[in-house]
Structure 1
Amino acid sequence: MDPGSMDEMPDGVARSASDRGTAGTTPSVKAEVDPMTVGPAAEDTAAVSTASEGIGVPPAMPIATLPPIEPTHRGVRLSPRTGEPRRTGVIVVSQCLLYAAAAAAGAGYAHYWWVAMHVSRFFDSAWVVGWLQPRPGGAASVLLVIGLAACVAAMLSAPFVVAYQAWTGLRATRVFGWTAIGVSLLGILFNPIACLSIPLTATGVGILWQRAAGRYFAQWQRLRTPPEPAPAPEPGDVFYGRLPRFQ
């Protein structure tokens, strides 16, 4: 079309012809999201859709991946939460029994004190008090009260120590357990409630001799034992002077 004739044409006709010519020669442009006109919600949607597509062409088959490797140290599997060997079920059961034994000893001592508060029932407060029958308020009764307090302190601490050492994987806990069983026999000085600590302690210690507990102690021992140093290489012949290849 002659450019001169474009000037003679009306404005509306000339603009339509110009638009048709531009549409035929200019490639289509993808519309962009204008955050000022469509709002932040549309902008976020466009960003998420673009980010989810990723870079490149996705493979036809999904890429197979292996699960993460459990953290280990010197061949021992560690718990990702604590960084220590995983506690087995026998260790947890033993802990519950030993703590229950300590609780039984404390409850028996509390019952002894509650009954001993009443002078009329003083001789019924504990079996040993009924056996010896000291005069209430006398020197013998005071010494007996102090002795019973020391006994219950041992009955409380022994299972607690064994339970803690077992939790931390000390193999000598098995030997300490026999001491805890012997200390729990002091419950016969009090009442039936304190005597419950005897079977509870014996059962909790006996579980520590299970094979699963032995493997748990072995893992802890492997972690605590420092690695042996590598053996030094055997000394060979020492050549003095200029090396043969440089002669």
Structure 2
Amino acid sequence: MVLVSFSSALALICCITYHMFFWRKYYRTYPGYNQYLLLIFNLVLADLQQPVAFLITFHWIAQNYILAPTAACFIKGWLVQVGDVSSGIWVLAIALHTWYTVVRKRKVEYVRFCCSLVGVWGFVILLAIIGPIAHPKTYFVNTGAWRLGLLYFWILLAQFGTVLIYSSIFCLLRRRMKQVPPASQSASSAYINRAARFMVLYPIAYIAFSLPLPAGRLAVWNGAKVSTTFYCNAATLMTSCGFIDTILYTLTRRVLVNEIGHPVPP
């Protein structure tokens, strides 16, 4: 699953990048202005960090042991930290963006939107360097309170925050549909509502595939016994997020990319 997720996520990143630079002739407006597309691009870029981290597993298989602290251990821990946190933060960012466009019926200013993209990655990197600075040799070896505060807390915050945001969006849309008949809705409002329903698939997939691993960690800290088999299955699910998001993008691409109102090449 590491190889499948890595290959699919990398292929999707290359595909979106290629489209933004070489498919401009199909659009009257630069595709990079599509905020939905940029959010998904950053989410898949975050998903790519996880399988890259787990590719180091082949190093341990070749050595027939796992040794820490070592350079391989540090690199794997760093990439897992960045990948897990950034995936959760980007899913939460998608939820907030969807809420802003559906509830407020407004679009984020492009310059402010791009600054927010940079800010999210800056925040993720900040969380990733605090632990190694405080405990340079043991942070990625022992899973203690530092890892809880700098990793699993943000994963769980993103998951529960996303659930709350989309629950509020769902309730609001139901109330609006009762007040305004579908026939009287404008084309733009109908599209936004449709795009929002498609965007909810990404957080649902993220929560379903990433929740087991932090849940297992929390169970251990509460005194429960969690088997190695559970951790292997949970890690397999989490590292599959890149593959799942690639499938979702393939299925929702036409609706989401049409957000800028131009034809999508076949």
Global fold match (TM > 0.5): no
Bigger Cα Rg: 1
Q: Which has the higher contact order (CA 8 A, sep 6+)?
A: 2
**Under a length normalisation based on structure 2, what TM-score does the superposition of the two structures give?**
0.25
